[in-house]
Amino acid sequence: MISVNINGETRQLSGSLTVAALIDEMGLTGKRVALERNGEIVPRSTFPTQRLSDGDKLEIVVAVGGG
Amino acid sequence: MNDKLVIAGKSYSSRLLVGTGKYKDFTETRAALDASGAEIVTVAIRRTNLGQNANEPNLLDSVPMSKFTYLPNTAGCYTADDAVRTLRLARELLDGHSLVKLEVLGDPQSLYPNVIETIAAAKILVAEGFQVMVYTSDDPIVAKQLEDIGCVAIMPLASLIGSGMGILNPWNLQLVMERVKVPVIVDAGVGTASDAAIAMELGCHGVLMNTAIAGAKDPVLMASAMKKGVEAGREAFLAGRMPKKLYSASPSSPTAGIISSTRS
């Protein structure tokens, strides 16, 4: 198990999880999202190949109403 | 009338830009946007809910990117670093779309822009290929600096965000417009249709607003009023108004042929 911080919350995940698998687990597959990992943008095209590491800090964002 | 608003080489028919925040629900959001005739709409970038229900309604369904030009903003950012990170995420989110609204705020009570951090962020973003429409104060020197950095539009405030106070300093807005060549779009503080008309009569190229519409008792009706206000102000500006003269009152009717007066 690895410990990953997602949007400010610490989660325990299985060690070899890809970003795509995480997105799927969160019910976000097919939704328009963007992801930052440890301060760097993770392009959507690389979601299936990028594997998460212990201590990763993720920001997963969407577009919402705003001025 | 072929009087398009051109921003970063792209033409728009509407000079009214509208925010998507603070509406009752997405139905009202879409109805107000349609009534306003806006083509460019601002959106915010926020964390997704971790426990999100897959069937929860979302903005993109009601306000599709196929019909509107999205302008992601950096609302809630107080540092250049946060603003830059937010817009990098926005560009990835919107498939490489690079037209963005930069705003870096100075304090949460006034929401007044921190122009020093704004300038720092603008330099980085322009260098990374973003087309930056920058929210700023009505300081004409800062406006020129932001243009020199390469921002594609300057967006000075009329008054504080969400205050509805209208244009508090038309003189500064005029100074801004004299100094920059890129479009000047008044952003923040518009309250009612006459405020928007006044901005356009001053020669501004467009007006951006959110609370003025969403905060009205009837947002859809106010959106329609704003559309007309912007159009009226623009036509009045292009028509070239008569001069204001304090001591040269001049009647509109002929002075010859008046019947004899019974007044002695």
User: Residue B249: is its pLDDT beyond 90?
Assistant: no
Given the structure tokens 């949460």, which residue do they identify? Answer: B108
What residues contact residue B45 under an 8 Å CB cut-off, 6+ apart?
A34, A61, A62, A63, A64, B72, B73, B74, B86, B89, B90, B93
Task: Identify which of A4, A56, A22, A28 has the alpha carbon closest to the alpha carbon of residue B56.
Answer: A28
Q: What's the gap in Å between the CA of B94 and the closest CA on chain A?
A: 8
Among the partner-chain residues A27, A34, A64, the one whose CB lies closest to the CB of B44 is A64
And the tokens for B150? 């390469």
Mean pLDDT (whole number) for A11-22: 92
Q: In this structure, what token pair is assigned to residue B44?
A: 């915010």
Residue B166 has pLDDT above 90, yes or no: yes
> Chain A residues with CB inside 8 Å of B99's CB?
none
Query: Which residue reads 């929860």 in tokens?
Result: B56
With 70 as the cut, is the pLDDT of residue B34 above it? yes
- Residues B94 and B101: beta-carbon distance below 8 Å: no
What's residue B247's pLDDT? 83
- Average pLDDT on B7-13 reads 97
Q: Is the pLDDT of residue B1 over 80?
A: no
| Whether the Cβ atoms of residue B127 and residue B108 lie closer than 8 Å to each other | no
Sign of CA dihedral B7, B10, B13, B19: negative
Decide if the complex's ipTM is over 0.90. yes
Give the pLDDT of residue A5.
96
> Considering B22, B24, B67, B101, which one is annotated as catalytic?
B101
Does the beta carbon of A33 lie under 8 angstroms from any beta carbon of chain B? yes
| Residue A45 in contact with partner chain B when CB distance is under 8 A | no
Residue A14 backbone phi and psi in degrees, to 5:
-70, 145
Lowest-confidence region among A44-58, B1-15, B168-182, B239-253: B239-253
CA atoms within 13 A on the CB side of B129: 5
CB pairs under 8 A between A and B: 100
Rg (CA), chain A: 12
Per-residue model confidence (pLDDT) at position A38: 96
What is the pLDDT at residue B202?
96
The C-alpha atoms of residue B83 and residue B96 are separated, in whole angstroms, by 17
> What pLDDT, on the 0 to 100 scale, is given for residue B38?
98
* Residue predicted with more confidence, B161 or A15: B161
Summarize pLDDT for B186-242 with one digit per residue, the tens.
999 999 999 999 999 999 999 999 999 999 999 999 999 999 999 999 999 999 999
B200 vs B233: CA distance, rounded Å: 5
Both tokens of B258, joined, read 């008046």
Give the pLDDT band of residue B142 (cuts 50, 70, 90): very high
Instruction: Give B-chain residues touching A62 at CB under 8 angstroms.
Output: 45-48, 58, 93
DSSP conformational letter for B56: -
- For A42, the 3-state DSSP assignment is strand
Quick one: which of B40, B43, B132 has its CA closest to B90? B43
Cβ burial of A13 (10 Å; 0-12, 13-18, 19+) is middle
B109 token code pair? 């009570």
Calpha distance A39→A48 (Å, rounded): 19
pTM (two decimals): 0.94
Query: Catalytic annotation on B245?
Result: no
> Which among B43, B48, B93 is the nearest to A65, CB-wise?
B43
Residue with the two structure tokens 């998507």? B20
CB B125 within 8 A of CB B102: yes
Q: Which two tokens stand for residue B247?
A: 């001591």
**Mean pLDDT of chain B, nearest integer:** 95
In contact, B89 and B61? CB cutoff 8 Å? no
- Residues B40-83 have pLDDT tens digits of 999 999 999 887 666 678 899 999 999 999 999 999 999 999 99
Output phi, psi for A25, to 5 deg. Answer: -60, -35
Is the pLDDT score of A63 beyond 70?
A: yes
CB A37 within 8 A of CB A57: yes
- Whether B47 has its CB under 8 Å from any CB of chain A: the answer is yes
Q: Which strands, in side-by-side order, build the sheet including B153-156?
A: B99-102, B131-136, B153-156
Region B121-137 average pLDDT: 98
How far is A11 from B166, CA to CA, in rounded Å? 47
Structure tokens at B125: 């973003």
Judge: B20–A28 Cβ closer than 8 Å, yes or no: no
- B252 has a pLDDT exceeding 70: yes
